[in-house]
């Protein structure tokens, strides 16, 4: 890894990190601030919700409406989605551009003619991606934790909170690896950003479709969102090693392939 490049990349992407972290944190705070009102008016709200079709609730990730009355259930249903979808969009946009922008902005001729190997460039840049994703997840999860502590009516499972936060982070990392992989295959940055965002939304869409329709249930396995268990209130909720392995393996494989392609590809400007 090259310290000079690493620090420069950290600086260059800082504004975007601050912006995304602020947006997600604000969304979490706003949503969690509604929990007390929701809890205090539960009979009215439940009456209203009973009119909502079951499939619409499933689309939102609500398997049992009573789950929303628990602070962790409310957090999981409303906020983890922000962190999963928006966090993944942040990750894939950052990672798909971090190598490619040097070619797209025609700065690769400056960078690659310095005394630095392609491996060093690759690892310096993916370290920045991993650290930025980690920081985004840390801050937003911490904001979620503080909000829950403030608005809770009864204690919630910190273990379940840590597990859902870990899987949200792993999901974001996997989308980071997907973005990196796509960027090594294409030459132009602008279409890749739109394509990457579309990809996150597409995977989220097939995940939600698979939840509301039995005939589409199998297709959900194609989506990384499927492997994040958001049912935090279930008594047997714990660390699923199968899902953990899925995220770790796919992230490492895609990163490894991207490394192999990047260190052997021709850089055109």
Partner 1 sequence: MNTPIIDITDLSKTYGKSRGIDHVNLKINEGEVFGFIGPNGAGKSTTIRILLNLIFPTGGSARIMGMDVIRETKKIKQLIGYIPSDANAYPAMDVQEFLSYCMRFYNVQNGLNRIAELAELFELDTKRKIDDLSMGNRKKVSIIQSLIHSPKLLILDEPTMGLDPLMQAKFFELLRLENQKGMTIFFSSHILNEVQMLCKRVAIIKEGKIINVEDIETLRKKQLKKVFIEFEDHRNKESLNLDGIESIISREDAELSFMYSGMINELVGSLAERKIANLTIEEPTLEEIFMHYYN
Residues that bind partner 1 (CB under 8 A): 2, 4, 8, 12, 105-110, 112-117, 264, 266-269
| Cα–Cα distance, 84 to 156 (Å, whole number) | 21
Q: Which residue lies nearer to partner 1 by CB, 244 or 267?
A: 267
Q: Which residue lies nearer to partner 1 by CB, 219 or 267?
A: 267
CB of 265 to partner 1, least distance (A): 8
CB of 247 to partner 1, least distance (A): 33
CB of 2 to partner 1, least distance (A): 8
CB of 117 to partner 1, least distance (A): 5
Residue 263 token pair: 């260190």
Closest CA to 233 of 170, 154, 173, 172: 154
Q: Are 201 and 92 in contact (CB under 8 A)?
A: no
Q: Are 93 and 179 in contact (CB under 8 A)?
A: yes
CB of 105 to partner 1, least distance (A): 6
Q: Which residue lies nearer to partner 1 by CB, 45 or 116?
A: 116
Helix crossing, 14-33 with 87-98: angle to 10°?
170
CB of 262 to partner 1, least distance (A): 12
Q: Which residue lies nearer to partner 1 by CB, 37 or 107?
A: 107
| Cα–Cα distance, 92 to 98 (Å, whole number) | 10
Q: Which residue lies nearer to partner 1 by CB, 239 or 269?
A: 269
CB of 172 to partner 1, least distance (A): 25
| Cα–Cα distance, 177 to 92 (Å, whole number) | 8
Cβ-proximal residues to 152 (8 Å cutoff; 6+ apart), any chain: 71
Q: Which residue lies nearer to partner 1 by CB, 166 or 267?
A: 267
DSSP 231: -
Cβ-proximal residues to 64 (8 Å cutoff; 6+ apart), any chain: none
CA atoms within 13 A on the CB side of 243: 21
Q: Which residue lies nearer to partner 1 by CB, 124 or 208?
A: 124
DSSP helix, strand, coil percent of the chain (3-state; round to 5): 80, 0, 20
């Amino acid at each position: 890894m090259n310290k000079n490049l690493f620090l420069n990349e950290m600086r260059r992407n800082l504004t975007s990190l601050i912006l995304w972290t602020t947006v997600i944190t604000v969304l979490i705070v706003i949503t969690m601030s509604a929990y007390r009102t929701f809890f205090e008016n539960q009979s009215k709200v439940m009456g209203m919700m009973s009119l909502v079709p079951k499939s619409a609730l499933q689309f939102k990730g609500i398997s049992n409406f009573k789950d929303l009355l628990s602070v962790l259930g409310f957090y999981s249903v409303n906020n983890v989605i922000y962190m999963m979808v928006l966090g993944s969009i942040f990750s894939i946009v950052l990672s798909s551009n971090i190598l490619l922008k040097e070619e797209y902005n025609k700065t690769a001729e400056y960078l690659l003619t310095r005394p630095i190997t392609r491996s060093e460039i690759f690892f310096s840049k993916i370290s920045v991606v991993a650290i930025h994703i980690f920081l985004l997840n840390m801050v937003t999860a911490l904001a979620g934790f503080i909000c829950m502590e403030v608005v809770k009516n009864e204690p919630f499972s910190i273990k379940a909170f840590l597990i859902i936060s870990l899987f949200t982070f792993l999901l974001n990392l996997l989308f980071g690896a997907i973005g990196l992989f796509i960027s090594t295959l294409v030459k132009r940055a602008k279409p890749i950003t739109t394509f990457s965002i579309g990809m996150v939304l597409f995977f989220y869409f097939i995940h939600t479709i698979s939840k509301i329709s039995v005939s589409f249930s199998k297709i959900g396995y194609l989506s990384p969102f499927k492997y994040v268990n958001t049912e935090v209130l279930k008594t047997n909720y714990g660390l699923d090693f199968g899902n953990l392995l899925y995220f770790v393996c796919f992230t490492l494989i895609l990163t490894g392939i991207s490394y192999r392609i990047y260190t052997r590809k021709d850089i055109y400007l």
